Amino acid sequence: MPAEAVDVYDELPDAVLVVDAHGTVTSANPAAVRLLGEVAGLPFTELRVCDAEGREWWGCEAAARAMAGVRAVPERRLVLPGERAVLLTARYVRSGGRFDHAVLALRDTRARERMERQHADLISTVAHELRSPLTSVKGFTATMLARWDRFGDEQKKQMLEWINNDADRVTRLLAELLDVSRIDSGRVELHTQVVDLAALGHKIVAGRVASGEPVDRFAIVEDGVPPELWLDPDKIEQVLGNLVENALRHGAGAVRLTIVAHPDGAEVLVDDEGEGVDPAVAPRIFSKFYRGKASRGGTGLGLYIVRGMVEAHGGTVAVESGPGGGARFRFRLPAGAPPHPA
Ligand SMILES: Nc1ncnc2c1ncn2[C@@H]1O[C@H](COP(=O)(O)OP(=O)(O)OP(=O)(O)O)[C@@H](O)[C@H]1O
Ligand SMILES: [Mg+2]
């Protein structure tokens, strides 16, 4: 083998074994040694690589190996002693039609199985989250259809309002899931322009006041003048909006936004006067579907999206205890640069 080929073979993350016509392992790369131990020189059957029914794989494959047309074994899930699962692929190398040796690649499946489990968990959580608003939409429509004449206008209006709210919840959940999927696959697209964080804060507060919050619940403080900030205004509005919404929903008292200028960007503090976030759960609250003990109607995706959007801008976000004991969310954004430098 040329020198580079040997290096590649040594560096391969997958275990690679060569097994000769007598069934003896003639070569094993370092990944194979890590997975199986020192196996060179041993009969492959001693490794006890078995299928799901416990049959030793090399022995079972003897007939296929003897057939001149069979050159490749498609990926098979096999089990090593100790119930450790591996994915095996093989090529049979022939000389003059006779089986000469096999090259086997074994891949540890733990990372893949963990990922599959996470996907399955995600699907079941999503299905569960969608089911409760849809059940209520279905319940109210069915009730109204079945007993239309027996309800007064006020009762029908009330039911339509509930249906409307639940439909909004489903729409919001789907929008959040799309954001999560963009974050998870690294496909958050930023359309940057110069953003005034204080103006964005005032816009969010105005929206909250319009929907009934008292204006004196909010304060916006600017500490210094930051450099020109090139950010995606919609995404930063989403970040600030989520944090303000959390402060109102999970916190209490006044909500204070402080925008601190830095030479290379800006930092935003969102403080409330509620109970704050227990430092023991602080590292978890940015994870997907994390909700505190008292569920207040959210899905637990808000802060995951906040972190995803801030990180897409090259920033960081954290939670700490505010000076008054409430929660303090702090995010830092670099100034960024125009998309097409002149
Ligand atoms: N300002 C806050 N004060 C106290 N606890 C908070 C605060 N903000 C967030 N939390 C806790 O963190 C959890 C996760 O917040 P997150 O915004 O991710 O989800 P959510 O608000 O429950 O639902 P969603 O935002 O998806 O509607 C909340 O359920 C709450 O327990
Ligand atoms: Mg939230």
Residues 210 and 326 in one domain: yes
- 84-95 and 25-28 as β-strands: parallel, antiparallel, unpaired? unpaired
Domain at 150, CATH number: 1.10.287.130
Residues 29 and 142 in one domain: no
Q: Please give the tally of structural domains in the chain.
A: 3
Question: Cα(256) to centroid of ligand 2, in Å?
Answer: 17
Cβ of 251 less than 6 Å from ligand 1: yes
Helix, strand and coil content of the chain, in percent to the nearest 5, comes to 45, 25, 30
Residue 91 has pLDDT above 80, yes or no: yes
Q: How confident is the model at residue 136 (pLDDT cuts 50, 70, 90)?
A: very high
Q: What is the pLDDT of residue 295?
A: 66
Q: Which of 248-252, 273-277, 294-298, 334-338 is least confident?
A: 294-298
Q: Looking at the CA of 285, which ligand is closest?
A: 1
Domain at 328, CATH number: 3.30.565.10
Residue 121 has pLDDT above 80, yes or no: yes
Instruction: Report, as an integer, the average pLDDT of 58-77.
Output: 90
pLDDT digits (tens, 9 = 90+) for 223-253: 999 999 999 999 999 999 999 999 999 999 9
Q: What is the pLDDT of residue 56?
A: 95
Q: How confident is the model at residue 299 (pLDDT cuts 50, 70, 90)?
A: confident
Residue 96 has pLDDT above 80, yes or no: yes
To test the ligand 1 pocket, which listed residue (170, 244, 246) has its Cβ within 8 A of the most ligand atoms?
A: 246
Question: Cα(304) to centroid of ligand 1, in Å?
Answer: 10
Q: What is the pLDDT of residue 241?
A: 97
Q: What is the pLDDT of residue 5?
A: 66
The percentage of residues in the chain with a pLDDT greater than 70, rounded to a whole number, is 96
Q: Are 322 and 276 in contact (CB under 8 A)?
A: yes
Residues 178 and 267 in one domain: no
Residues 163 and 219 in one domain: no
Q: Whole domain around residue 167: which residue ranges? A: 112-185
Q: Looking at the CA of 287, which ligand is closest?
A: 1
Residues 117 and 103 in one domain: no
Residues 242 and 270 in one domain: yes
Question: Cα(188) to centroid of ligand 2, in Å?
Answer: 20
Choosing from 55, 82, 109, the residue where a domain stops is 109
Cβ of 270 less than 6 Å from ligand 1: no
Residues 127 and 18 in one domain: no
Q: What is the pLDDT of residue 1?
A: 61
CA dist 240 to 64, 208, 235, 255, 290, Å? 63, 12, 9, 12, 19
Q: What is the pLDDT of residue 122?
A: 86
Residues 124 and 237 in one domain: no
Residues 290 and 197 in one domain: yes
Return the residue whose CA atom lies nearest to atom 25 of ligand 1.
302
Residues 119 and 100 in one domain: no
Residues 163 and 207 in one domain: no
Choosing from 56, 80, 109, the residue where a domain stops is 109
pTM of the model: 0.74
Instruction: Report, as an integer, the average pLDDT of 166-186.
Output: 93
Burial readout 132-154 (b: 16 or more C-beta within 10 A, e: otherwise):
ebeebbeebeeebeeeeeeeeee
State the Cα–Cα distance between residues 312 and 101, nearest whole angstrom: 50
Residues 206 and 311 in one domain: yes
Choosing from 124, 159, 185, the residue where a domain stops is 185
State the Cα–Cα distance between residues 118 and 122, nearest whole angstrom: 6
Residue 342 has pLDDT above 70, yes or no: no
Q: What is the pLDDT of residue 209?
A: 96
Report yes or no on 339 lying in a domain. Answer: no
* Pairwise pLDDT comparison (164 vs 323), residue with the higher score: 164
Domain at 26, CATH number: 3.30.450.20
Write the Ramachandran bin of 196: left for phi over 0, alpha for psi from -120 to 50, otherwise beta.
beta
